[in-house]
Amino acid sequence: MLRRHHRSNLPVRSSARSVRGAAAFVVVLLALGLSVAGPAVGQTMEQQYEVSLRGVSDSSLQGQLEEFSKLFAEQGKPPATLAALRRRAKNDVERLNEVLRSQGYYAGSVDFDIDDSVQPVEVTVVVEPGPVYTLKDYSIENVGADPLGDPIRVTYEDLGLQRDAPAKSSAILGAERVVIDQLAELGRPLAEVADRKVVVDHGDRTVSADLKIDAGPRALFGATDIVGLENVDERFVVRRIAWKAGTPYDEREVTETRRRLSETGLFTAIRVNHADTVDQNGLLNMTITVTESPHRTLGSGVSYSTSEGPGAKVYWQHRNLLGEGERLKVSAGGTLIRYGLTVSGSKPDFFARNQSLLLDFKIEQEDTDAFVSQTVEASGAIKRQIGEHYAVTAGLTASQSIIEESGEDEDFTLVGVPLTLQRDTTDSVLNPTHGARTVLSATPYLQYLGSSLSFTILQFTQAGYLPLFDGDLVLAGWGRAGIVVGQQAADLPADKRFYAGGGGSIRGYGFQLVGPLDSANNPEGGRSVYEVGTEVRYKITDSIGAVAFFEGGNVYTDLAPDFGQESFLWSTGVGARYYTAIGPLRVDIAFPLDRRNGIDDAFQIYIGLGQAF
């Protein structure tokens, strides 16, 4: 049995050796195969290439061609094979021909050449723009069943077109939108393009366009549904609807409604849509769909300046306290020289839709070189918005202060009537790039109302912004003039006098150090202030910017400036900006050009959120 067992195992051991040999052979083959195919398995093959465009002498046209070319746009994402590169180039041909037509080149041609004998592969896009074709005629015809009672009154200028000017296809298509938009303003929101015929005459190199539209039926505003409200009262939204049910449809009123809702800050999304058809009475139902934004905010901020030191602020805000856009904000913060607590609130639609009630309460401590004060102040005002850009405010303010100046304490009770007229056409609070902002204010403090003194503070501030080079460069300027009438400077409460110097004023000089100084070089303040400044802002990238500025001004004990005794003090400086979603982060360094020995430092640094003005 042992022999039989031994003999039966001989073939088994022989078979195992064969299997091990075969396995080794396979491993060797796999290793050889992997070594040969290693780059293909371990790496992603890419067809690197360089691309150039020739045949175009117009730099603007060349820029547009390169902008719309996939060869240029996706050069950093090379295709896997040469065949894929050829497909990318072929797809560019029609795309670039469309660009040529959009600029009036209807006889142009686009081709490409690929040289794969070099690495990286060289791709040459060859463009022959040809002559510019001009616009010969543009006609509009209504082919709808409902005839137009009022003709479509549009000029070539309204359409963005001009006869005998380059027949840009982009402008011809854009003119259709103008016609449809005007019909929507004339009560026909269902108008649509029925047909478009563009004739290119290669003989005289002209283009004619014939637009046929179906104006659709006349429509009246119907019922309005409001969708998406959670915490905002529907009545608050209804008061912001510009149209009235039963009146002729006007797209401008739809746009105004959207603007009114947007400026409340209560919604992250707003859509205003109409039904697809009118009912038997010609009514077109409307739907307003909104998405509410979070109504509560907890935030903080930090700042720094050489003269005031580090600063910090924390705040809590509710933007819909009672359901109709009422706001309540509590903030606390300060710097090394002043700090305090502020509670402010507002009630929109106060007896009128464009009118708000403003309430403020403030406790503040100031410890400056000019004075030390503790102030409690309360105020109320009504602000009336007039149109889109104007606002007037009138109110009542009362404050109680203890002010220490030159080692002596004095109590002041002030009751005033602040009046303000404001015009604002800027596009942003923290980063304006165009428009202007004007504020004229007068605050009389009257003894018969309970004030310790009677006097009036008058101020005028102006800022303007001019964009250049597509907004990459902004020229900004500002000015401030203020006077106090009714009291001499020495008789005024120290915190009601004018001061200048520091952030928000003339950068480069210490806080409040521009103006009259006492024997210890402490600020005394004055009855008038005059300041001007200009700033050049250049946006290097989408997130990085640089500025250079020049500012000057002074404070005077009399109402009019005395240039013979005290001329303006000037400063200059540069800064950097980092643009964020909430506004630019600002870092400025400023240098006093009229530096005074023992008073002014060689430079001042300012860090904060938002532009300087």
Buried b (16+ CB within 10 A) or exposed e, 206-231: bbebebebbbbbbbbbbebeeeebee
The pLDDT value given to residue 41: 40
Residue 523: partners with Cβ closer than 8 Å, 6 or more residues away: 368, 369, 370, 499, 501, 512, 513, 515, 516, 517
Integer-rounded Cα radius of gyration of the chain: 36
The pLDDT value given to residue 151: 61
For residues 368 and 501, membership in a common domain is answered with yes
Give the percent of the chain with pLDDT over 70: 91
Structural domain includes residue 79: yes
Last residue of one domain, picked from the residues 78, 95, 128: 128
Q: Is the pLDDT of residue 105 over 90?
A: yes
Last residue of one domain, picked from the residues 248, 265, 292: 292
Which tokens sit at 221? 């505003």
The pLDDT value given to residue 148: 63
For residues 382 and 454, membership in a common domain is answered with yes
Q: Is 157 helix (H, G, I), strand (E, B) or coil?
A: helix
The pLDDT value given to residue 150: 60
Phi, psi of 95 (to 5 degrees): -60, -45
For residues 55 and 204, membership in a common domain is answered with no
Strand order of the sheet with strand 109-115? 49-54, 121-128, 109-115
What mean pLDDT, rounded, does the chain reach? 90
Strand duo 49-54 + 121-128: pairing? parallel
Residue 286: partners with Cβ closer than 8 Å, 6 or more residues away: 221, 222, 223, 224, 225, 243, 254, 272, 273, 274, 275
CATH of the domain at 177: 3.10.20.310
Phi, psi of 285 (to 5 degrees): -70, 145
CA distances from 42 to 46, 83, 84 (A): 13, 22, 21
Give the range among 203-212, 227-236, 458-467, 563-572 with minimum mean pLDDT: 563-572
Q: Is 599 helix (H, G, I), strand (E, B) or coil?
A: coil
pLDDT tens for each residue of 480-491: 999 999 999 999
Do residues 409 and 425 touch, judged by C-beta distance below 8 A? no
For residues 514 and 571, membership in a common domain is answered with yes
Which tokens sit at 365? 């401590």
Q: Is 571 helix (H, G, I), strand (E, B) or coil?
A: strand
Structural domain includes residue 33: no
Q: Is 189 helix (H, G, I), strand (E, B) or coil?
A: coil
The tally of domains found in the chain comes to 4
Q: Is the pLDDT of residue 26 over 60?
A: no
What residues make up the domain containing 249? 220-292
Q: Is 261 helix (H, G, I), strand (E, B) or coil?
A: helix
The pLDDT value given to residue 285: 97
CATH of the domain at 587: 2.40.160.50
CA distances from 210 to 159, 195, 213, 231 (A): 14, 8, 10, 51
Average of per-residue pLDDT across 130-144: 90
Structural domain includes residue 206: yes
Do residues 219 and 249 touch, judged by C-beta distance below 8 A? yes
pLDDT tens for each residue of 318-367: 999 999 999 999 999 999 999 999 999 999 999 998 999 999 999 999 99
CA atoms within 13 A of residue 190's CA, in its CB half-sphere: 20
Last residue of one domain, picked from the residues 161, 184, 214: 214
The rounded distance, in Å, linking the Cα atoms of 323 and 234 is 9
Structural domain includes residue 20: no
Do residues 485 and 498 touch, judged by C-beta distance below 8 A? no
Structural domain includes residue 285: yes
The pLDDT value given to residue 142: 85
The pLDDT value given to residue 24: 43
Sole residue written with tokens 């002596």: 408
Which tokens sit at 205? 């190199």
For residues 140 and 287, membership in a common domain is answered with no
Q: Is the pLDDT of residue 33 over 80?
A: no
Do residues 198 and 172 touch, judged by C-beta distance below 8 A? yes
User: Residue 319, Cβ neighbours under 10 Å: how many?
Assistant: 19
For residues 521 and 376, membership in a common domain is answered with yes
> For residue 149, what pLDDT band results from cuts at 50, 70 and 90?
low
Output 156 or 591, whichever has higher pLDDT: 591
For residues 412 and 315, membership in a common domain is answered with yes
The rounded distance, in Å, linking the Cα atoms of 174 and 101 is 14
Report the phi/psi class of residue 553: left, alpha or beta, with left for phi > 0 and alpha for psi in -120 to 50.
left
pLDDT tens for each residue of 50-88: 999 999 999 999 999 999 999 999 999 999 999 999 999
The pLDDT value given to residue 45: 65
CA atoms within 13 A of residue 114's CA, in its CB half-sphere: 17
For residues 103 and 190, membership in a common domain is answered with no
The pLDDT value given to residue 32: 38
Structural domain includes residue 42: no
Do residues 179 and 160 touch, judged by C-beta distance below 8 A? no
For residues 139 and 122, membership in a common domain is answered with no
Give the range among 28-37, 145-154, 172-181 with minimum mean pLDDT: 28-37
Q: Is the pLDDT of residue 280 over 90?
A: yes
Average of per-residue pLDDT across 191-209: 93
For residues 138 and 190, membership in a common domain is answered with yes
Could you tell me which of 528, 522, 470 has the C-alpha nearest to residue 497? 528
Q: Is the pLDDT of residue 215 over 70?
A: yes
Q: Is the dihedral of CA 59, 61, 62, 66 positive or negative?
A: positive
Peptide bond before 120: cis, by omega within 30 degrees of 0? yes
Structural domain includes residue 4: no
Structural domain includes residue 321: yes
The pLDDT value given to residue 335: 94
For residues 565 and 485, membership in a common domain is answered with yes
The pLDDT value given to residue 141: 85
Strand duo 435-445 + 455-468: pairing? antiparallel
> For residue 220, what pLDDT band results from cuts at 50, 70 and 90?
very high
Peptide bond before 166: cis, by omega within 30 degrees of 0? no
The pLDDT value given to residue 12: 35
Q: Is the pLDDT of residue 38 over 60?
A: no
For residues 77 and 100, membership in a common domain is answered with yes
Give the percent of the chain with pLDDT over 90: 80
Do residues 433 and 471 touch, judged by C-beta distance below 8 A? yes
Which tokens sit at 155? 């000029």
Average of per-residue pLDDT across 265-276: 96
